[in-house]
Amino acid sequence: MGFKMGIVGLPNVGKSTLFNALTKTAAAQAANFPFCTIEPNVGEVGVPDARLDKLAAIAGSKQIIPTRMTFVDIAGLVKGASKGEGLGNQFLANIREVDAIAHVLRCFEDGDVTHVEGRVDPVADAETIETELMLADIESIEKRMQGLVRKVRGGDKEAVQQERLLKEALAVLEDGHPARVVEVAEDDEKAWKMLQLLTTKPVLYVCNVGESEAANGNEHSTKVGEMAAAQGNSHVIISAQIEEEISQLEDDEAVMFLEEMGLDEAGLDRLIRAGYELLHLETYFTVGPKEARAWTIKQGTMAPQAAGVIHGDFEKGFIRAETIAYDDFVANNGEQGSKEAGKMRAEGKSYEVKDGDVLHFLFNN
């Protein structure tokens, strides 16, 4: 299981440039005018993970298959999008389909790139988009509640639950807060998710800075960091321009380029890691002579459900998971060495898979 992250932001903040870099394509038309992106561009990227390369080298795997992450480049939102301004309704529908929002904020000064509001203020930009998403949610809730009236009167349990949750969300939104601040009981989680409210999506703020500020950011990105911390969201600092340049280079050249810029790693790596943390995801591995492969699961996933990510039959017929921690696999030079060192464990249905576990599943056909 990978996950889908929607790239949103006001026009001309660098969304399409970032998307091009992330997916190593020029699929998104990057241009200096609003609404150059109308249909959402979708790109899949392999998630970089140095552990996978190490495991493959030890096992002599012929093929390396990383887990995948999907980016959706959603057209630039503007003030009034919730009322359909600037093709707003179409964009808002695209946002409903993603797991998380990467909100790109302009944190660079450049007189040659126009700003839709005529000034550089990333915190105000973030508030503009958040307000539009909140207004769209309020409108959606009011329509749904009207449609539930008859069912609620008839005592329909699902409708009663839906109405209660919609009222909770509406109260929070009308108070000026996104729906993600609502504390949802475990029994309500499934129904809450089905509401598909835009402001329940976790947000990762992407501070797009100039090339010279990519390592340490600037005063704009500092303000975004403070805002994100206050909201319980997270942020990353990236120069979309640098990422685009790196995407055109061979691996060795890219490493040298990053070193020259004073960067330890590409922004893509930071963005994906921040996305994983935001969505509480982790990775486990399957390793053999044919392939070394990474799989993405939610934190807290039990062994049978982790097996089900590979194939439904693995979950249905689950017997046990032969488990080696990543560090043990490396320290003992592979599966055989780990077995001999007593580092392979047989885990049953109640085992919670850990990040980095190397797993082999046994199941009944």
Spatial contact of 82 and 136, defined as CB atoms under 8 Å apart = yes
The answer to whether 12 is annotated as binding is: yes
* Comparison of pLDDT for 140 and 285, the residue scoring more: 285
The answer to whether 13 is annotated as binding is: yes
pLDDT at 79 exceeding the cut of 60: no
pLDDT of residue 297: 94
The answer to whether 200 is annotated as binding is: no
Please give the average per-residue pLDDT across 2-20, as a whole number. Answer: 83
Share of the chain above pLDDT 90, in %: 47
Tell me the domains of the chain and their CATH numbers: 3-278 (3.40.50.300), 300-363 (3.10.20.30)
pLDDT at 117 exceeding the cut of 80: no
First to last CA, the chain: 22
pLDDT averaged over every residue in the chain? 85
Within the chain, residue ranges assigned H as helices are 15-23, 50-59, 88-96, 122-153, 157-174, 189-194, 219-231, 240-247, 251-260, 267-278, 303-310, 312-316, 326-331, 335-340
Residue 215, phi then psi, degrees to nearest 5: -75, -40
Please give the average per-residue pLDDT across 259-278, as a whole number. Answer: 83
The answer to whether 20 is annotated as binding is: no
Lowest mean pLDDT among 16-30, 64-78, 124-138, 335-349: 16-30
User: What is the total residue count of the chain?
Assistant: 365
Lowest mean pLDDT among 87-96, 207-216, 269-278, 294-303: 87-96
pLDDT at 172 exceeding the cut of 60: yes
Lowest mean pLDDT among 46-60, 171-185, 238-252, 318-332: 238-252
Please give the average per-residue pLDDT across 63-71, as a whole number. Answer: 88
pLDDT at 260 exceeding the cut of 70: yes
